[in-house]
A and B are shown apart, each in its own frame.
Chain A
Amino acid sequence: MTQRERSTGFWLQTIVWIALRLGRPIARALLYPITAYFLIFADRSRQASAAYLTRIFDRTPSGKEIFRHYHTFAETLLDRVFVFADRDEFFQIRIHGFEVLEKLIADKQGFLLVGAHIGSFEILRGLALRHKGLSVKALVYGENSPKINAIFRTLNPDLFKDIVYVGSANALLGLDEHVARGGVVALLGDRSVHGEKRVLCRFLGEDAWFPAAPVLLANLFKVPVILFVCLHKGDARYDVHFELLADRVAFSRHERDEKIRDCMQHYADRLEHYCREAPYNWFNFYDFWDRSG
């Protein structure tokens, strides 16, 4: 373990302790110095934030705006603690488009839920779906922050038992049966993983890599694809949006590439829409448009 990881772990544990013992207002006040600390030391993330905000605002962002971007991320991380610890009474969550899901759930029709690193997808996992008695399996590519995950797992092991770590030959076997029984498979569609199939889509003015996985899985399962985002709208307010991305994905081999591109481009367009609605909710703090890798 590196020095840095060790200290991140220590600080995380401290903030979790403060949040649960001393309460959300005190923990939220502490987010200001914590955000400042990370902004000073994380050069690359700061550059990534500035590059993204430049595209959104069509001008160079101020230091204050970059700070706000980071701070919004810190706020959602903190709220995750409360969701995972089952202390979610103070959240004000507005849900849009739930009727899209209601029909599928009533018909016991399985579907694919495709989210993004926008706002807080964990809020959704912790709240909306848990209360609906839906069986959701979440696909996770790699475990990129084991320390953070370990702490959240301690808070609520139940939320992690349905995570499928993609990264072994057999990871996805049997998911078709889960969906056929009316189960849901959730994944995030805005990170392409090296070695997996991917497609270039226009996003905020330039092509970027998106994974083909959402479309490929939907085609194998023959199920609808639903987009979900959960935007943080200040303090304890969250706006959840569900949208039908594709009613039923089914294509022949020769249309495959075209369908993948069309569907993921539609997804990228919707992400762009939500980024413009809530600019500080974009949480991919790396060079998203880097096509070299």
Chain B
Amino acid sequence: MASQLTPMELETARMIVESLNLEAVPEHIDPEKPLYRDGLGLDSIDLLELSLVISKTYGFQIKSDDPDVTRIFSSLRALAGTIEKRRTK
């Protein structure tokens, strides 16, 4: 099955799977589904870990009081879009 992910979405999916040691196949992650709980099944500690990896890899931080924070983690597509927009490295 050909992946429907954009290159940035695929890069983000690989980072998630790799850093959180998930069994999911990056290419098969549905870009529209939530990352938290239902969907990819991540919990709040996973998302904290992910935010640390993002900060290290892409040079920007996602804080809990970010007005956009709920949307950022709402799906792979939203997260990849945020990384593209905010990355400093």
Contact = CB atoms under 8 A, between A and B. Distances in A.
B48 A176 contact: yes
Interface stretch (B9-17, B24-32, B63-71, B80-88): B63-71
Contacts of B37: 195
B44 A168 contact: yes
Given A195-B37, A253-B21, A171 B44 contact: yes
Given A195-B43, A196-B45, A253-B21, A169 B36 contact: yes
A220 B69 contact: no
A169 B44 contact: yes
B43 A197 contact: yes
B47 interface: yes
B36 A217 contact: no
B49 A171 contact: no
B69 A170 contact: yes
B63 A174 contact: yes
A137 B84 CA distance: 32
Interface string A150-190: 00000000000000001111111111100000000000000
Nearest to A211: B45
A18 interface: no
Given A173-B63, A173-B64, A195-B37, A213 B45 contact: yes
A217 B37 CA distance: 18
Chain A, interface residues (CB within 8 Å), range: 20 to 34
A170 B34 CA distance: 13
Chain B, interface residues (CB within 8 Å), range: 20 to 34
Given A176-B52, A220-B52, A170 B45 contact: no
B5 interface: no
Contacts of A197: 43, 45
A26 B67 CA distance: 49
Nearest to A193: B43
Interface string B18-58: 00010000000000000111000011110111011000000
A196 B62 CA distance: 22
Contacts of A170: 44, 47, 62, 64, 66, 69-70, 73
A216 B73 contact: no
A220 B19 CA distance: 12
A175 B49 CA distance: 11
Interface string A208-230: 00000100110010000000000
B23 to A, nearest CB: 13
A175 B21 contact: no
Contact of B45 (A168, A174, A216, A256): A216
Interface string A196-207: 110000000000
A142 B51 CA distance: 22
Contacts of B49: 216, 220
Contacts of B52: 176, 220
Interface of B: 21, 35-37, 42-45, 47-49, 51-52, 61-66, 69-70, 73
Given A166-B44, A172-B45, A220-B48, 15 more contacts: A168-B70, A169-B36, A169-B42, A169-B69, A170-B47, A170-B69, A170-B70, A171-B64, A173-B62, A173-B63, A173-B69, A174-B63, A197-B43, A220-B52, A256-B21
Closest 5 CB pairs of A and B: A173-B64, A169-B36, A172-B48, A170-B69, A169-B73
